[in-house]
Chains A and B, each alone.
Chain A
Amino acid sequence: MGVEHAGARRPRVGPAVGLVALIALSAVFLFPFAWLLSTSLKPESQVFQMPPRWVPHPITLANYRQGLTFIPFALYLRNTLLLCTFSVLGAVTSSSLVAYSLSRIRWRGRDTLFILLLSTMMLPYQVVMVPLFSLFKALGWVDTFLPLIVPAFLGNAFFVFLLRQFFMSIPADLTDAARLDGCSEFAIYRRIVMPLSKPALATVALFAFMGTWNDFLGPLIYLFDERKYTLSLGLAMFTSQYGSQWGQLMAVSTVVTIPIIVLFFLTQRTFIQGITLTGMKG
């Protein structure tokens, strides 16, 4: 297209300037990571050295050894993964069931339910925080994982919304045919809709995993016993007690961050799809 007009145009400096700007800005965005890694690999004597030494000499894993034993890392990782597993399981099963009801079954009141569900997204967590705490306290669930697991199985408005959008794009002919053949709704859900919705379900699983891995407020409210801490809570508590052990803090932060970044690179497409899917289509 541009070829015919090329002669008439002013010389294009845009892309070159843009490239330079992108390189400079991405350096700014990357420097914190370099700082994180560099500090985590430094011997203690070099952590406070000014001007800073970007490449530690010698490079040492001492901070990782110390930080990861000082915090019972294996235990916190196990706790975190346990919570993540259940929240992924809960999100995928409950939200897909609800989304199926709201998109593929015609029943009176389903639109009302959908609107109610959406409106809960507008409600700040702070409003329900105290009554939920006293509810879970009355059930004897405080200082257990249950307050962080059970709600995951009760449908999440955001995930329901996402899956409903996806389910509605599955042609009605497919499920109508199955219905005429005498398939039950559950069989249609299980054998037709779910297998066709893998990308959307992957997005939900990913977001549920990340949400739980990153969650701080929930564990802070409900977990008191140090042996039940998650990685995020453990790291936060370690920071507020030993705030100047920068080498170790950076080592633990690196270890908490790496799985998420690896997950991102493994599932990039799902990720980006998820953001744009959730970002728009109101």
Chain B
Amino acid sequence: MGKPKHGDIQRANMRNGLAFAAPALVGLLTLTAYPIIAAIYYSFCNYTALKPPVWVGGTNYVRLAHDALFYKSLGNTAFFAVLSVPLGVLVAFFLALLLNMRVPGRTFFRTVFYIPSIVPVVAGSVLWLWLLNPQYGLINYALAGLDSGLRWLDGLLAWAHIRVPLGVGQPGWLADPAWAKPALVLMSTWGVGGWVVIYLAGLQDVPKELYEAAEIDGASAWDRVRHITVPFMSPHIFFTVVMGLIGASQYFSQAWVMTGGTGSPANSTLFYSMYLFQNAFQYFKMGYACAMAWVLFILILLATLLIFKTSARHVYYGEGG
């Protein structure tokens, strides 16, 4: 058979490979490489997008270091991430464990927990704005119900001469600087369904024999979760924590919709990405916004490295991974 020469095949492969990859090559150049270089340059410039950028050296970074709102937005974002990610992991893990039991209607329950996560962001935010309405919202109505139940219990205890004032009260949620971020955390927990599905898939890979062996050895349900399930699930948990942190660091749309892009009240929901967006597209301080973006990138990178380092010993990738 007249085989084509080795060199010819290689050349043809090179040509085809590049041709098929052309969209990505163009995309990498125009949508990533160029913007990265431009963003570095702009971050050292005064740039309004109306006039050409003017080089100002490190001014933007210096100003950033003295910008109270920068720290405020950074703190808000960290607060949100530190609250929403662990809570999301706990809730999703718990739901996945429940769904993994042999109970009737599992598919139905799985669907119920998953659906909130696909509700379009804007529609979901508008819905939660109404749920969290301090006067007429469902959540405070439920809390009021809980309160009256507790008062009844209070009365019962008083009868037994035990006096502990019980009560949960009804926060102002998005109207109260102290409660606005917890309100958003609550909303984000409603959307953990994607993680539930990931955990549920992971749970199928945990060897059943281990549970049986542990049960015969007299391990309690908690022991089995603690010493079998969690170690086997650690890669999944690790993955969701990293993705969750990256997502939380860029938290934007929900906060924008629920506060009309203001970050109110008292800047308590002014998240990093929102302040960055305001600088870029409302104050037209585009150079400043680019400097903020680089600081964000470096912070995300450091946080991710930190998690990788500290969790290396705790993540179990199976025998011979």
A interface residue numbers (CB < 8 A to B): 1, 5, 9, 14-15, 18-19, 21-22, 25-26, 29-33, 35-36, 39, 47-48, 50-52, 94-95, 97-98, 100-102, 105-110, 113, 116-117, 120, 122-135, 137, 151, 153-155, 160, 185, 189, 210, 213-214, 216-217, 220-221, 231-233, 235-236, 239-240, 243, 246, 249-250, 252-254, 256-257, 260-261, 264, 268, 272, 275-276, 279-280, 282
Q: Do A280 and B20 touch across chains, with their CB atoms under 8 A apart?
A: no
B interface residue numbers (CB < 8 A to A): 13-14, 16-28, 30-32, 34-36, 38-39, 42, 47, 49, 95, 98-99, 101-105, 108-109, 111-116, 118-131, 133, 135-136, 138, 141, 190, 194, 197-198, 201-202, 212, 215-216, 221, 235-236, 239, 246, 249-250, 252-253, 256-257, 260-261, 273, 276-277, 280-281, 286, 289-290, 292-294, 296-297, 300-301, 304
Q: Do A214 and B121 touch across chains, with their CB atoms under 8 A apart?
A: yes
In the bound complex, residues from chain B placing their C-beta under 8 Å from that of A18 are 98, 101, 103
Apart from A29-B112, A127-B35, A151-B27, list 19 A-B contacts with CB within 8 A: A22-B103, A25-B95, A26-B113, A32-B131, A39-B130, A97-B21, A101-B20, A123-B32, A127-B39, A131-B36, A137-B49, A151-B31, A235-B123, A236-B126, A240-B260, A249-B130, A250-B126, A257-B120, A264-B118
Closest to A253 in B: B123
Q: Do B14 and A127 touch across chains, with their CB atoms under 8 A apart?
A: no
Q: Do A217 and B16 touch across chains, with their CB atoms under 8 A apart?
A: no
Of A105, A132, A216, A282, the residue contacting B17 (CB under 8 A) is: A105
Q: Do A101 and B21 touch across chains, with their CB atoms under 8 A apart?
A: yes
Q: Do A22 and B297 touch across chains, with their CB atoms under 8 A apart?
A: no
> Given contacts A108-B14, A125-B250, A253-B123, are A279 and B103 in contact (CB under 8 A)?
no
Q: Do A154 and B30 touch across chains, with their CB atoms under 8 A apart?
A: yes
Q: Do B24 and A98 touch across chains, with their CB atoms under 8 A apart?
A: yes
Q: How far is the CA of A128 from the CA of B201 in the complex (A)?
A: 34
- 3 closest A-B pairs (Cβ-Cβ)? A154-B27, A107-B17, A101-B20
Of A35, A116, A240, A252, the residue contacting B131 (CB under 8 A) is: A35
In the bound complex, residues from chain B placing their C-beta under 8 Å from that of A232 are 120-123
Closest to A110 in B: B17
